């Protein structure tokens, strides 16, 4: 595949309302986790509706083996860079480990990420975040919740493991999803859960779900740019190197965008059954 120019370019600024409307129209949308201005600009040209400045940058950019060491200052630095490079996609900024342990701390740090250029803040966790999400949402800060494999809890999980495989875990994740949506979350990332559970949650919630290793039935897909471009030494099962079938980097990203929109990514081999 050769990059076909600006044909997929975002025409209008994307908001959470845009993503909500896409869910209502059952049109898939695309999210990419990325960390710098040139990649952010390329994502805008390729029609990526939402960019996530993920704390995965701890591993993909900074060489750590988890997201735990990532600081607020590092997140702010990268959110500012992405915001300079991209004026149209919705920018989701991750709150790093222990930056939202109390609702007050979440308010302070969410404000810092928003001032750096994010339009939405993402935080990981279940029912314990209910009050925090109510507080942020009531004060005008859009929230993306994150359930399933939440990497900041890797030490609690005993490794990067698929979540929601047994009945008890699955109903816990489903109940948390409903609770956080009712609290005011605007988006929900579902990471490494069985496709049947992701579909059940997606069908139940009115807010859009963004899947990674969660099957083909979520409203959107997200992958990390390093995985899309084959930069990861041991790529996760749920990812795909799109550069293998593409002539250059923009073509690879454009292929990811098109495959998600057309429902040809992810395939069964990328899922945890
Ligand atoms: O930090 C990140 O990039 C993420 C995605 C993998 C969902 O949280």
- pLDDT tens-digit profile of 193-202? 999 999 999 9
- Alpha helix stretches (DSSP H) within 167-211: 167-183, 195-204
Among 31, 12, 24, 23, CA closest to 257: 31
Q: How confident is the model at residue 5, as a pLDDT? A: 81
Give every CB contact of residue 197 below 8 A, 6+ residues apart in sequence.
Answer: 164, 170, 173, 174, 190, 214
pLDDT digits (tens, 9 = 90+) for 122-142: 999 999 999 999 999 999 999
Q: Is the CB of 225 under 6 A from ligand 1?
A: no
Catalytic residue among 44, 124, 130, 191: 191
Q: How confident is the model at residue 160, as a pLDDT? A: 94
Q: How confident is the model at residue 113, as a pLDDT? A: 98
Confidence of residue 109 (pLDDT cuts 50, 70, 90): very high
The alpha carbon of 228 and the centre of ligand 1 are apart by a number of angstroms equal to 13
Confidence of residue 4 (pLDDT cuts 50, 70, 90): confident
Q: Is 245 a catalytic residue?
A: no
In a 3-state reduction of DSSP, which class is residue 53? strand
Return the sign of the alpha-carbon dihedral for residues 63, 118, 239, 44: negative
pLDDT at 6 over 90: no
pLDDT at 147 over 90: yes
By most ligand atoms within 8 Å of CB, the mutation choice from 54, 64, 79, 266 for ligand 1 is: 54
Q: Is the CB of 222 under 6 A from ligand 1?
A: yes
Q: Is the CB of 55 under 6 A from ligand 1?
A: yes
Q: Can you tell me which atom of ligand 1 is nearest the CA of 33? A: 3
Q: How confident is the model at residue 182, as a pLDDT? A: 98
pLDDT at 272 over 80: yes
Among 175, 261, 272, 269, CA closest to 220: 261
Q: How confident is the model at residue 273, as a pLDDT? A: 79
Task: Convert 4-19 to b/e letters by CB count within 10 Å (16 or more is b).
Answer: eeeebebeeebebeeb
Alpha-carbon distance 200 to 258, whole Å?
A: 25
At residue 3, what are phi and psi to the nearest 5 degrees?
-55, 130
Rounded mean pLDDT of 47-72? 98
Q: How confident is the model at residue 244, as a pLDDT? A: 97
CA triplet 258, 261, 264: central angle to 5 degrees? 80
pLDDT digits (tens, 9 = 90+) for 161-216: 999 999 999 999 999 999 999 999 999 999 999 999 999 999 999 999 999 999 99
Q: Under a CB-based contact definition with an 8 Å cutoff, are residues 43 and 34 in contact?
A: yes
Q: How confident is the model at residue 2, as a pLDDT? A: 86
Q: Is the CB of 94 under 6 A from ligand 1?
A: yes
Confidence of residue 230 (pLDDT cuts 50, 70, 90): very high
Rounded mean pLDDT of 249-257? 97
DSSP secondary structure, 110-175, as one string: HHHHHHHT-SEEEEE-SGGGHHHHHHHHHTT--EEEEEES-GGGHHHHTSS-----SHHHHHHHHH
Q: How confident is the model at residue 3, as a pLDDT? A: 83
């Amino acid at each position: 595949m050769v990059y076909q120019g600006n044909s997929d370019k975002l025409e209008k600024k994307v908001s959470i309302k845009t993503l909500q409307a896409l869910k209502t129209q059952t049109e898939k949308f695309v999210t990419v986790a990325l960390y710098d201005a040139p990649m952010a600009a390329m994502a805008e040209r390729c029609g990526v509706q939402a960019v996530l400045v993920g704390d995965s940058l701890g591993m993909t950019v900074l060489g750590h083996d988890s997201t735990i060491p990532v600081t607020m200052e590092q997140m702010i630095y990268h959110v500012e860079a992405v915001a300079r490079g991209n004026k149209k996609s919705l920018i989701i900024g991750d709150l790093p480990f222990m930056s939202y342990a109390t609702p007050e701390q979440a308010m302070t740090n969410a404000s810092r990420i928003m001032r750096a250029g994010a339009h939405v803040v993402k935080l990981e966790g279940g029912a314990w975040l209910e009050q925090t999400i109510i507080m942020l949402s009531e004060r005008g800060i859009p929230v993306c919740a994150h359930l399933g494999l939440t990497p900041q809890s890797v030490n609690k999980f005993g490794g990067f493991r698929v979540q929601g495989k047994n009945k008890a875990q699955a109903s816990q994740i489903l109940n948390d999803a409903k609770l956080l949506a009712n609290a005011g979350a605007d988006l929900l990332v579902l990471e490494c859960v069985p496709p049947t559970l992701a579909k059940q949650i997606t069908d139940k919630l009115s807010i859009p779900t963004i899947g990674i290793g969660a099957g083909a039935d979520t409203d959107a897909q997200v992958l990390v740019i390093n995985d899309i471009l084959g930069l990861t030494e041991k790529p996760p099962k749920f990812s795909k190197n799109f550069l293998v079938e593409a002539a250059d980097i923009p073509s690879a990203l454009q292929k990811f965008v098109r495959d998600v929109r057309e429902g040809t990514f992810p395939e069964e081999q990328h899922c945890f059954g």
